[in-house]
């Protein structure tokens, strides 16, 4: 059983809407119509800023500086020359294409149980919103074999072997990035218990995301604004537009860069860095012209590992801002409080999590 499964069992995602096949819609049904959202993209700040692109080809002091500035200023950056082959990335894209273009009656054979972690379904954050998102997802927490066997009885072995290879490559990259990020904070592997043994205890959950073409994109929302509950998220956004990040109260596009992987600081890394690295709000808008695929890999320590502001980063001038919490408990808190979960752990004027 995946170490986070119990959390999902305790917090089932129940929805009061039937699943609809968005691919066949000629207009956006009422349950998917969002109030007009503020679009600050015409603003000069948004136009003139773009998230950093960092090359990992040669590890150097300069790369560490680029990483720490990107994590501080944006909480997001794109990496290139990261070692994951572009052929593997495009194979993943074809798998996503095949999986999500299956007929709905086939896809629901792999439906995620309300209290389950893996399978096909709506966005996990859906219960916090009265409107549905223009989104389909397929979550892989352990082996996808059982689900994929139902979905593609003739070709499940090929599908699973590509996913396995992708997970393996991403795990390698996630560990490498985590090491660079800790180093950029002035920490080494021995300073962080779960980082010893080459980050062996880091775990990932892979989420395949699909945003179908939308007949009225300005009325719909692909994925509503949220922060990630991970330490770090590695996102391959294929060559499609749609992802936006909130920066200084403006939404900024995250343009696709060929073969680049988007790295997103999650809430746990924000806590560990004692607020120095930001965990940015981000969202996905949909389009009439182009559907979107993305593959998000959420990385964290084992579910029972405590995360807290690292003592080496604290001083009289920078006292700890957050309480200590395990990944499992953080997900429980997020399932209750959603975007207020992080601030509920603030030590000064926040509400202590234990009193929720
Ligand atoms: C997520 C996410 C962005 C995307 O899955 O948490 O932010 O582009 N995905 O799909
Ligand atoms: Ni996200």
Residue having the nearest C-alpha atom to atom 2 of ligand 1 = 296
If DSSP codes are grouped into helix, strand and coil, which group holds residue 222? coil
Ligand 1 nearest-atom number relative to CA 228: 6
* pLDDT attached to residue 44: 61
Q: Is 196 a catalytic residue?
A: no
* pLDDT attached to residue 43: 57
E-state strands within 135-222: 136-140, 203-211
Class of domain 2-10+40-344: mainly beta
| Residues in contact with 60: Cβ distance below 8 Å, sequence separation at least 6, in sequence order | none
| Best probe residue, ligand 1, of 256, 294, 297, 298 (max atoms within 8 Å of C-beta) | 294
Catalytic residue among 283, 292, 332, 340: 292
Measured between alpha carbons, how far is residue 214 from residues 75, 105, 125, 283, 290 in Å? 29, 21, 20, 16, 9
Listed as ranges, residues in the chain with pLDDT below 50 are 349-356
Residue at token pair 């939308």: 214
Residue having the nearest C-alpha atom to atom 5 of ligand 1 = 296
Give the distance (Å) from ligand 2 centre to CA of residue 194.
23
Give me the DSSP letters along 298-348.
EEES-TT-EE---GGG--SSS---B--EEHHHHHHHHHHHGGGTTGGGBSS
| Separation of CA 41 from chain center | 23
Burial 86-95 (b: 16+ CB within 10 A, else e): eebbebbbeb
* pLDDT attached to residue 356: 33
* pLDDT attached to residue 17: 64
* pLDDT attached to residue 129: 92
* pLDDT attached to residue 40: 52
Distance CA 89, CA 91 (A): 5
Question: What are the pocket residues of ligand 1 if the criterion is a CB atom closer than 6 Å to any ligand atom?
Answer: 207, 209, 223, 228, 235, 237, 243, 282, 284, 294, 296
Break the chain into its structural domains and give their ranges: 2-10+40-344
| Best probe residue, ligand 1, of 204, 243, 266 (max atoms within 8 Å of C-beta) | 243
| Residues in contact with 230: Cβ distance below 8 Å, sequence separation at least 6, in sequence order | 264, 266, 267, 268, 269, 298, 299, 300
Distance CA 60, CA 71 (A): 17
Distance CA 259, CA 82 (A): 9
pTM of structure:
0.94
* pLDDT attached to residue 46: 58
Ligand 1 nearest-atom number relative to CA 207: 5
Q: Residues 230, 206: contact at Cβ < 8 Å?
A: no
Give the distance (Å) from ligand 1 centre to CA of residue 206.
11
Residue having the nearest C-alpha atom to atom 10 of ligand 1 = 294
């Amino acid at each position: 059983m995946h170490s986070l499964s119990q959390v999902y069992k305790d917090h089932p995602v129940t929805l009061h809407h039937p699943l609809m096949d968005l691919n066949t819609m000629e207009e956006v049904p009422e349950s998917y119509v969002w109030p007009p959202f503020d679009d600050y993209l015409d603003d000069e700040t948004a136009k003139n800023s773009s998230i950093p692109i960092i090359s990992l080809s040669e590890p150097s002091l300069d790369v560490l500086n680029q990483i720490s500035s990107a994590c501080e200023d944006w909480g997001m950056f794109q990496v290139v020359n990261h070692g994951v082959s572009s052929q593997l990335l495009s194979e993943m894209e074809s798998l996503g294409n095949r999986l999500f273009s299956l007929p709905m009656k086939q896809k629901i054979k792999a439906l995620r149980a309300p209290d389950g972690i893996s399978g096909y379904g709506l966005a996990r954050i859906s219960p916090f919103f009265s409107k549905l998102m223009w989104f389909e997802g397929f979550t892989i927490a352990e082996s996808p074999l059982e689900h994929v066997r139902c979905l593609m009885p003739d070709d499940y072995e090929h599908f699973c072997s590509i996913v396995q290879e992708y997970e393996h490559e991403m795990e390698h990259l996630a560990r490498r990035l985590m090491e660079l990020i800790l180093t950029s904070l002035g920490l080494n592997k021995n300073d962080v218990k779960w980082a010893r043994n080459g980050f062996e205890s880091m775990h990932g959950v892979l989420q395949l995301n699909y945003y179908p073409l939308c007949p009225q994109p300005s009325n719909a929302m692909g994925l509503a604004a949220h922060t990630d509950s991970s330490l770090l998220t590695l996102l391959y956004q294929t060559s499609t537009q749609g992802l936006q990040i909130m920066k200084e109260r403006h939404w900024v596009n995250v343009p696709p860069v060929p073969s680049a992987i988007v790295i997103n600081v999650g809430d746990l890394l924000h806590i560990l860095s004692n607020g120095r690295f930001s965990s940015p709000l981000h969202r996905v808008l949909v389009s009439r012209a182009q559907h979107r695929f993305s593959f998000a890999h959420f990385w964290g320590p084992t579910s029972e590992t405590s995360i807290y502001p690292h003592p080496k980063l604290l001083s009289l001038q920078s006292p700890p801002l957050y309480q200590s919490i395990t990944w499992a408990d953080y997900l429980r808190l997020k399932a209750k409080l959603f975007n207020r979960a992080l601030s509920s752990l603030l030590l000064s004027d926040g509400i202590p999590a234990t009193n929720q």
